[in-house]
Each structure stands twice: as C-alpha cells, then as structure tokens.
C-alpha cells in the first residue's frame, strides 16, 4: 500500500482500508472461481465485519459465511442475499437458529447431531425445513497415522470420521431437516497447495465410501483457509486464488452436478487493511530500545493472541535503521507487536504502519483498559 500525506494527520490508532485493493482482490477471486462452473464463494464475515467492506464484497456477487446470528443479520443488512448465506459454528444458540431460519438462509453448517436435532425441533415449531450440511473433521494431517485409533488429538470442530455414517443416518430421519451436503474447514493461513490437495483426496475417499452405500450430496463445502504473504505486504497483495481453485478443479472428483462452495476470509481482506499508530515514546533500556505506540493489543490482538507476525514500518523517517521492540500501552506483557524489529530511526510522533491487518484485526478490537475502539479510514 502507498500512503499520501494525509496519513500523518489521521487520528490514531486507526484501521486504514484500501478499497481499491479490495476491489482488485474481489475482481480476481470472482474471475478465478468463475472459470469453474459450480464453484460458489461465501466470504467469511468473521475475518472483517466492517459494513463498508461487506457492502463491497456483496456487490461482487459473493455470498457470506457467518458464525453467529448477528453476523447473519449484518450480512443481510450489507446486501448478501439470504440464499447465499451459510451459517457455521460449534455452538449455535436457539435464538440464533431462529434468526437464521426466519431469514431463510441457504444452509446451516452443523457440527454435531445434538445441534441438528435442536435445529430440527425449532424448524418444526416454525413450520420450516432447514437445509443442513454436516461439518466433517477429515483428520487430514493424521493421514499417516491411519492405524492409530487411540491418542489422536481431537479438536472440538466437526463430526469425526468414525461417527459420520451414524450421524448421517440419524439426520436423514429428521423430518424438518434437508441434508444437502458435507462441509470441511481444516485451518487457516494455508499457503501450501499440497494441503488442499490432501483435503481433496481425503474428501474423494469419504464420498466414494458413502456413494457405495447410496449416499450422495448435491453440495460440498471446502471452507476457507487460503493464506496470504505477511512478510511481503507490497509484494503480492492479492492471494494466489488461481492456484487455489486450480488445485480443487484438478484433484477433487466432484459427482455430476454437485455444487462446490468455498469460504475465503483472510485471503479477501488481510492485505486491504493496515493499522496506523503514532509513537508515544521511545524508551531506551540497557540492551533494548522500545517503541511505545498509541495502539495496543485491544486494537490488534493477533500478535498477543497467537504470536502472529505483521510487518511494521516507520513511514515518517528515512534515517538509518535500528532495532526496536514495538509495544503498546496496555498493562500486559503480551502487548507487543514485534521484537527486534528493524525500523528507520524512530522519534516521538512518527507514524507507524502495521501491515496486513485487514483480517482478524478490527473485528477483534475491544475496549480493554476502557480504551476507545480504533477508528477507521478508507482510501480508493
């Protein structure tokens, strides 16, 4: 991203969104997916639920992938048609299920039989039929440990493979549920296409096994997870959607007429946003220099939450580089954006850019320490 002179005058901390880059990204993802008939996109709203961005995203024809009732409502408000909204999450409460049913969303991605039973009951009460896809935990990484059935670490997501046929059988008996497909989402920030290839092969295997028992589905959903290059925000600002869709087209053996759904989040919005902060103080220790920003972990949680890396730049200085720990003002040691970061020599008042924070940035902001929420600014 390039910045004009106004950036130094913005009230900070604030998220700075490049809508031109967002449009270019959306144009690219729409084009690359449209090469393959039957591919459908649902933007994962949890990555960034800012209405300005959501309206742009819906205008390019994408659907929405939501993980709460409020996200469903936000998506509807921002122009996503109900018929393109999918709703995932391990724990949907009754009110959220009612909201989704009342608005006739396309599909619930459900992760357990008890939840499908509750959806069935609520749908019955509302005289509706709920479309459901079962989220499967395909255990893709554990492929090599095929014969080890104990001691496999199960995470809370999805229905386990050993249980899938039983759950399908039980769901098919529910009178207010239409079981339309399977759903997979194996993780996030995946840049190695071999991982998606493994997912395709695993899903081929699962579907073939089910087909032999006469079970076929009109829909399949591969979730999200495509990663971006956090190291080089100026390098490839648009994620590699071409290779991503190519991988599925090549390795996934879709039954005739099956519709194939994807839920990209991060790859759509991450590079389109930066967090802009100002330097409050430069503090010199014996061995280290600290840059204390006016932005903290309440504004951008990713580094504190999972030691995520974001490229940091001092755009106010062209003096020689020095090493700094870049920290926020919050009373937590984890309130640190980067250690031993090379920045052009820093002075109080300099404008600092924390790059590629458009995904899982603003949405996770809180008022911890009773701070203000970060502002927003748009360009392009």
Ligand X SMILES: *Cc1c(COP(=O)(O)O)cnc(C)c1O
Among 56, 84, 202, 266, binds ligand X (CB under 6 A): 266
- Cβ-based neighbour number of residue 313 at 10 Å: 20
- 51-90 residues near ligand X, rule: CB under 6 A: 65, 67, 88
46 near ligand X (CB under 6 A): yes
Helices 51-59, 69-77: inter-axial angle, 10-degree rounding: 60
- Judged by CB under 6 A, which stretch of 72-80, 236-244, 261-269, 276-284 contacts ligand X? 261-269
**Minimum distance of ligand X from residue 39's CB (angstroms):** 15
Site string for ligand X, 169-198 (x = CB under 6 A): ----------------x--x----------
- Judged by CB under 6 A, which stretch of 29-37, 94-102, 265-273, 297-305 contacts ligand X? 265-273
Instruction: Measure the CA–CA gap between 138 and 149, rounded to whole angstroms.
Output: 14
**Minimum distance of ligand X from residue 363's CB (angstroms):** 11
- Judged by CB under 6 A, which stretch of 17-25, 171-179, 218-226, 283-291 contacts ligand X? 218-226
**Minimum distance of ligand X from residue 371's CB (angstroms):** 26
Question: Alpha-carbon Rg of the chain, whole angstroms?
Answer: 23
Total of chain residues touching ligand X, rule CB under 6 A: 17
Among 63, 69, 264, 358, binds ligand X (CB under 6 A): 264
Among 26, 29, 41, 44, binds ligand X (CB under 6 A): 44
**Minimum distance of ligand X from residue 73's CB (angstroms):** 18
Would you say 46 or 302 has its CB closer to ligand X? 46
273 near ligand X (CB under 6 A): no
Binding residues for ligand X, rule: CB under 6 A, are: 44, 46-47, 65, 67, 88, 185, 188, 223-226, 263-267
């Amino acid at each position: 991203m390039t910045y004009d002179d106004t950036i130094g005058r913005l009230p900070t901390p604030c998220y700075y969104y490049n809508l031109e880059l967002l449009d270019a990204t959306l144009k690219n993802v729409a084009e690359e997916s449209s090469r393959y008939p039957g591919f459908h996109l649902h933007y994962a709203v949890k990555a960034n639920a800012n209405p300005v961005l959501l309206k742009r995203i819906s205008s390019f024809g994408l659907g929405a992938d939501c993980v709460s009732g409020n996200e469903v409502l936000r998506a509807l408000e921002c122009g996503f048609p109900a018929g393109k909204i999918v709703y995932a999450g391990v724990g949907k409460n009754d009110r959220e299920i009612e909201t989704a049913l009342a608005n006739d969303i396309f599909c619930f991605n459900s992760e357990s039989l008890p939840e499908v039973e509750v959806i069935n009951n609520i749908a019955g009460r509302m005289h509706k039929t709920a479309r459901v896809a079962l989220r499967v935990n395909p255990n893709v990484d554990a492929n090599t440990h095929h014969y080890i059935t104990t001691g496999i670490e199960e995470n809370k997501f999805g229905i386990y493979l050993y249980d899938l046929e039983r759950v399908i059988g039980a769901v098919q008996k529910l009178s207010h549920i239409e079981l339309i497909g399977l759903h997979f989402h194996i993780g996030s920030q995946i840049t190695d296409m071999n991982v998606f290839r493994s997912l395709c092969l695993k899903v081929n295997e699962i579907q073939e096994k089910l087909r032999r028992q006469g079970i076929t589905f009109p829909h399949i959903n591969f979730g999200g997870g495509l990663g971006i290059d956090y190291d080089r925000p100026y390098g490839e600002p648009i994620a590699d959607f071409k290779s991503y869709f190519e991988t599925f087209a090549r390795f996934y053996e879709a039954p005739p007429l099956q519709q194939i759904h994807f839920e990209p989040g991060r790859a759509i919005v991450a590079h389109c946003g930066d967090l802009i902060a100002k330097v409050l103080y430069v503090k010199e220790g014996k061995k280290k220099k600290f840059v204390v920003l006016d932005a903290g972990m309440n504004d951008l949680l990713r580094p504190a939450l999972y030691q995520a890396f974001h490229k940091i730049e001092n755009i106010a200085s062209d003096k020689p580089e020095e090493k700094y720990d870049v920290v926020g003002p919050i009373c937590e040691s984890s309130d640190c954006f980067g250690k031993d970061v090379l920045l052009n020599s820093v002075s109080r008042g300099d404008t600092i850019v924390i790059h590629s924070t458009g995904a899982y940035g603003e949405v996770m902001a809180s008022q911890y320490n009773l701070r203000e929420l970060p502002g927003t600014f748009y360009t392009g």
